[in-house]
Chains A and B, each alone.
Chain A
């Protein structure tokens, strides 16, 4: 765009948001409100709204904040268990982990901004989720993420990977929380919409959790943290629409993160909470001041009155509209105990942060906003939240992919060669290049670093530890949303189990395309059904989550990607399992039934070049039986080497165990009735590989049989090669080179 045109455009844009223009249908449409939604709002307030009110309602009623397409379905998810202290609806979920401690965690997406501006999009994603956790009074102890990028040969992918990874590291490293786990995947369906899902986990005293619910009439409302600028206005609205070819022009709606400010905010907030001054607290996330103020009032059945003249601003001349919709980062809103005003202010001054009383609670149930002596908004506060539209959007059952008979898949190359190729594919290669840019060791409690099944973080000086993971297999969800939804939960449960953790609860981050399309809505509904079934069967409730819809560019949607973040407990963190082979001469025991399921397998896609078939079915009863058996062995101290089987099947599992331990292994034979490649690369669920001292193997097989758990001795550890049945041995060196080299070479621009 030429300079002059750019100037004109900027002029036009500033003129578009003066304080009192007439509300036109165009203006309503630009705010993402449908005509009937606008009419509903006018009927609610009984007059034409001001521009500030229009901005407020657009912020409250957009998809991102109101969950209007998803709410009906989210309600079906199980959210309760005896150990759940707080389920969905607050800043983060809270579970009891015993001895007076609580674990606070949540996952949230920052997909749209990260595509437009990868570094800042990712940093503010991390910043937002950390804030959600410490708003509840918890000190963050770990961060995780789940990333999906487009095809490696798409021209933007390399730039997006570099920016997102640097952004996640840039924020977490500076804030001072270890980034201990995550996943990275590539698929052409993310070419125009990458996924950046960030998860944070914190620890608090179970009786010192802070909530957003305001109490008491006439209590001061205090603004904390960084100043308000013009960044991020309409960020939540952007996240509620599809991308088109002009989406990159939305860069100004991406917020800018400052981890330094967030670190100060963390320390100041925790100090403030300990002082007893906080009645309610809410971070300013999506839709900033609007959303946080309305939620605090609505939850507490109170009105809120704000005086915007007192809001600390970064720029001069900001309008009420801009202040109410800014998504400037590192800000909090708090209802203060008026008797503790001076103590609270001193804490914030000490940390060099803004502290301003900008309003008060009232008994009117109105949300009143004043600016320069004028009332610019006066709205019923409960209705802003509760009366948001709810849609029961039409959906169609997806056409399921038919089951692919194993015998219809021929092996195009020797299995050893296939294995070497698989461990070097974009999805299965080592992600060391990524996680070495994340400080995963700070705080000195990372017992299991990235590269294991689940990360393990010790809680303080122990003895407890938390196991945590993020999982989803989008290609399964695409082929069968219900089974895919089940599988995402089952895999998170399995990863926690594989390190010896007792799975306690999940946070879900549901990434889908445009819900106004019945087939996308069908994916959403199906995945939710599967997630619900699995969470119920595995006693693994959903305690927090986030929905990201409209991940679609020019009509092409992402693969359905319901990321599951799971947390589990280790009563004694010393007693856990890792994936690395520890010694030669140990017996390899395969737990779970192997049918050789190749439909939707990585082998089928990356070796045979087909994305086809139904995904492996998830038998939740078998999942539970097998997992409980494995966990029991770990917790009794009898088994210390475990890896679950997932992408790439048994052969990839063994290769990862061998590479991690620097010890090879031999698989004795292919079971009768299976072809070798189906046995080695099939992705049957509910399976684990254990390496156990030889003399223990027989007893374990007997106990498995007694427990109704399929178990078989399939080989032994030792040597410097991995040897598959009837194949030439593969040196660990060769595997390692293939595994470690793809990503660094790709990022250095050497190949796609």
Chain B
């Protein structure tokens, strides 16, 4: 598994996700926003968390038009794997690779806290090491993670099984109280139609270490490394 972690100006969890991928056994290379090609042999393109272009204009809007994104779109069209976390998810929505938008959190504050997620499907390259219905304890750190889309899209996502993770409580209840940001149907992450693109707001890459909060995030990277 060769993963290319793309750094945009303002990316700041590029190092964190590279560390998680390396720990899981993937080969990690760097890519730069101004490049026109992904590194040769890239299996997985990763759009990391951060504040690309300072979140100016709209989160992810400027990055979605960076030269490297043409290469990412082509990679996805070929069936290549793409993972966008947090700002990466915002970029994927802005670039048309995933449907929907991420609005400001319902409480209008940036929120950083531990957060439980319910795994919605485990038969993908991203989630194979989890099982359906598993509750994992990771974290969130965002100001604009309130997932929204029109009713038709929501229906599509739900009926096609394209919701990857939902916010839930420790017992797995996907209740309103367990929804930190107001996302529709507690959606924390969604897949593309071909299940080869995943965008998610939470940060599994920061939960890979017993000493630093736990290891529930490892499953995602181990799934990818084995894909």
Contact = CB atoms under 8 A, between A and B. Distances in A.
Asked if A pairs with B, the answer is yes
B212 A438 contact: no
A447 B206 contact: no
B203 interface: yes
Interface in B92-138: 109-113
Contacts of A442: 12-13, 16, 49, 141, 206
Contacts, number: 85
Contact of A263 (B12, B208, B209): B12
A176 B87 CA distance: 13
A174 B141 contact: no
B211 A447 contact: yes
B148 interface: no
Interface string A340-355: 0000000000011000
A174 B51 contact: yes
B15 A441 contact: no
Interface residues of B, number: 31
B112 A437 contact: yes
- Greatest chain B CB density within 10 A among A174, A258, A259, A447 is at A174
Contacts of B212: 444-447, 458
A440 B54 contact: no
Nearest to B34: A350
B50 interface: yes
Contacts of A260: 9-10, 51, 53-56
Interface in A250-282: 258-261, 263-264
B112 A174 contact: no
Contacts of B111: 436-437
Nearest to A457: B212
A444 B211 contact: no
A687 B112 CA distance: 32
Nearest to A170: B110
Contacts of A169: 110
A435 B208 CA distance: 22
A258 B139 CA distance: 26
Contacts of B109: 166, 436-437
A488 interface: no
A430 B10 CA distance: 32
A573 interface: yes
Given A170-B110, A176-B12, A438-B112, A574 B54 contact: no
A662 to B, nearest CB: 12
Nearest to A574: B211
B54 A258 contact: yes
A173 B110 contact: yes
A437 B141 CA distance: 8
B19 interface: yes
A437 B113 CA distance: 9
- Greatest chain B CB density within 10 A among A169, A258, A261, A436 is at A436
B16 to A, nearest CB: 5
B13 A176 contact: yes
B115 to A, nearest CB: 11
B205 A444 contact: yes
Contact of A439 (B9, B112, B211): B112
A679 interface: no
A174 B211 contact: no
A261 B56 CA distance: 12
A131 B54 CA distance: 17
B194 interface: no
A573 B209 CA distance: 13
B79 interface: no
A437 B110 contact: yes
Contact of B206 (A258, A264, A444): A444
A458 B20 CA distance: 16
Nearest to B52: A260
Interface in A439-464: 439-447, 458, 462
Contacts of B110: 166, 169-170, 173, 437-439
A550 interface: no
B16 A443 contact: yes
Contact of A441 (B12, B54, B55, B141): B141
B144 to A, nearest CB: 12
Contacts of B203: 441
A175 interface: yes
Interface in B14-65: 15-16, 19-20, 49-51, 53-56
Given A259-B51, A458-B211, A444 B16 contact: yes
A573 B213 CA distance: 14
Given A263-B12, A458-B211, A439 B54 contact: no
Interface string A168-187: 01100111100000000000
A379 to B, nearest CB: 38
A175 B13 CA distance: 10
B9 A264 contact: yes
A174 B15 contact: no
Given A260-B54, A351-B9, A441 B211 contact: no
Given A260-B9, A263-B51, A573-B211, 9 more contacts: A175-B12, A264-B10, A438-B110, A439-B112, A441-B213, A443-B15, A443-B16, A444-B20, A446-B213
> What 6 A-B pairs have minimum CB-CB distances, sorted nearest first?
A176-B12, A260-B54, A174-B51, A439-B141, A439-B112, A444-B206
Interface of B: 9-10, 12-13, 15-16, 19-20, 49-51, 53-56, 109-113, 139, 141, 143, 203, 205-206, 208-209, 211-213
30 contacts: A169-B110, A173-B141, A174-B12, A174-B50, A174-B55, A175-B12, A176-B12, A176-B13, A258-B54, A259-B51, A259-B54, A260-B56, A263-B10, A263-B12, A263-B51, A352-B9, A435-B112, A436-B109, A436-B112, A437-B110, A439-B112, A440-B112, A441-B139, A441-B206, A442-B12, A442-B206, A444-B205, A444-B212, A458-B212, A573-B211
